[in-house]
Amino acid sequence: MMAKNRFYFLEAGTSRPLRLLSAGALDLDVPFDFQSLADRELLSHFSGAISEMIDRFAISASAVSFCLDRRMVQLKRLKIDREFSEAEVRQQVEWELEQMLVSPRSEYHANYERVRSERDHYDHVIIAVVRKAIITYLNDIFKNTRVRLDLVDVDLLAAIRGLLLLKPQSRGLAALIDVQEELLGITLIKDQGYLTYGELKYQSSELGEENSEELATRINDEILRLMESLGDELLLKSIEEIHISAASLPTAVVHALQRLQRAAQIQILEPLSQIDHSLSMEAEQMIRENARYILPLLGLLRA
């Protein structure tokens, strides 16, 4: 996974249960973003960074899965009739794509997942759309390395699978909060499935204890706004679990949020809590300090 100016990776064995063999991060001179994707001359730079990482960490894998930043992917969640056949679902998905895409359909890769729920009287479909140019660029990067690109996913959905790897008993309505630089990402999850996502900008000064109540209130307001945006689906429901994928959110903010969400169980995720591994102490520390980026990678390993 490339995040801003850094590349993160996890390597796991092929047997089950999951066992991590190595983990690491490599700083990049150039950020992996939309602007970089428009510059073919940077292909060799990114290929070289991956090759350097393979050599530095003695990675033995021959195939990789890659996690795209959510800003490079469009996601949409649809409610559909439970009686729809797969052909009818595909037809509905294509109609939705015609409405949401700004360029010709031929310029995009689209995939979808049908989600069934025992508690609802209808199904949902999660649509993920990415420009073909992005996938082509990724393939060209890995063609110049000794590893093969097998799968591409989006961090938002992969993070949910990572959460379920750490908290397999998680049920009901939950919120996953990932702490980024001056940005909080909030994902609502219902019965282990994606509901919706929102972002909350903040200033580093707000992380001080004197501002903890204000920041917690803003987080709570955003959670409530996201719930309201889903209409009757979450009517009279309350958040049961809040998972925070970074220890950098001050304890004072967590405590203040708990006072606002009294019915919720709030936890700071520990990425290695349920994972067998043979990692070095340096790799363990890197994982704990970068849980927001590691969680989607765990989800890729679970896929």
The answer to whether 247 and 179 have CB atoms below 8 angstroms apart is: no
Looking at the fold, whether 180 and 127 belong to one and the same domain comes out as no
Q: Answer yes or no: is pLDDT of 303 > 70.
A: no
DSSP letter for 152, please.
Answer: E
Q: Please state, in angstroms and rounded to a whole number, the distance separating the CA atoms of residues 111 and 129.
A: 7
Quote the domain boundaries for residue 223.
169-268
Q: Residue 96 maps to which CATH number?
A: 3.30.1490
pLDDT confidence bin for 169, thresholds 50/70/90: confident
The answer to whether 37 and 134 have CB atoms below 8 angstroms apart is: yes
The answer to whether position 1 is within a domain reads: no
Which of 81, 105, 132 terminates a domain? The answer is 132
Phi and psi of 103, rounded to 5°? -120, 170
The tally of domains found in the chain comes to 2
Q: What would the mean pLDDT of 110-126 be, rounded to a whole number?
A: 87
DSSP letter for 146, please.
Answer: S
The answer to whether position 99 is within a domain reads: yes
Q: Answer yes or no: is pLDDT of 151 > 90.
A: yes
Per-residue pLDDT of 190-203, as tens digits, reads 988 999 999 999 88
Write the DSSP assignment of 42-102 as a string of letters: GHHHHHHHHHHHHHHTT---SEEEEEE-GGGSEEEEEEE-TT--HHHHHHHHHHHHHHH-S
pLDDT confidence bin for 15, thresholds 50/70/90: confident
| Closest CA relative to residue 242, chosen from 203, 189, 180 | 189
List the beta strands (DSSP E) in 116-160: 123-131, 148-154
- Mean pLDDT computed over every residue of the chain: 91
Q: Residue 253 maps to which CATH number?
A: 3.30.420.40
Q: Answer yes or no: is pLDDT of 9 > 80.
A: yes
Looking at the fold, whether 118 and 207 belong to one and the same domain comes out as no
Reading the block at residue 74, the tokens are 């469009």
List the beta strands (DSSP E) in the chain: 2-3, 6-12, 19-27, 63-68, 74-80, 108-115, 123-131, 148-154, 173-180, 183-190, 193-201, 241-244, 265-268, 276-277
The answer to whether position 253 is within a domain reads: yes
Q: Answer yes or no: is pLDDT of 206 > 80.
A: no
Match 């909350």 to its residue by tokens: 200
Question: Is the whole model's pTM more than 0.85, yes or no?
Answer: yes
Q: Answer yes or no: is pLDDT of 153 > 70.
A: yes
pLDDT reported for residue 250? 86
Match 């949902």 to its residue by tokens: 124
Q: What would the mean pLDDT of 33-46 be, rounded to a whole number?
A: 90
The answer to whether position 107 is within a domain reads: yes
Q: What would the mean pLDDT of 15-44 be, rounded to a whole number?
A: 90
The answer to whether position 231 is within a domain reads: yes
Looking at the fold, whether 121 and 175 belong to one and the same domain comes out as no
Q: Answer yes or no: is pLDDT of 205 > 80.
A: no
Facing residues of 183 across strands?
180, 201
Q: Answer yes or no: is pLDDT of 165 > 80.
A: yes
The answer to whether position 146 is within a domain reads: no
Q: What would the mean pLDDT of 154-162 be, rounded to a whole number?
A: 95
Least confident range from 91-105, 151-165, 238-252: namely 238-252
The answer to whether position 295 is within a domain reads: no
Q: Answer yes or no: is pLDDT of 207 > 80.
A: no
Q: Answer yes or no: is pLDDT of 285 > 90.
A: yes
Percent with pLDDT over 70 in the chain:
99
pLDDT reported for residue 246? 79
| Closest CA relative to residue 115, chosen from 84, 72, 87 | 84
Around 140, how many Cα atoms within 13 Å sit in the side-chain half-sphere? 14
The answer to whether position 212 is within a domain reads: yes
pLDDT reported for residue 108? 97
Q: Please state, in angstroms and rounded to a whole number, the distance separating the CA atoms of residues 20 and 71.
A: 28
Reading the block at residue 7, the tokens are 């590349």
Looking at the fold, whether 119 and 180 belong to one and the same domain comes out as no
**CB burial string 90-117: b at 16+ within 10 A, e below:** eebbeebbeeeeeeeeeebebebeebee
pLDDT reported for residue 249? 85
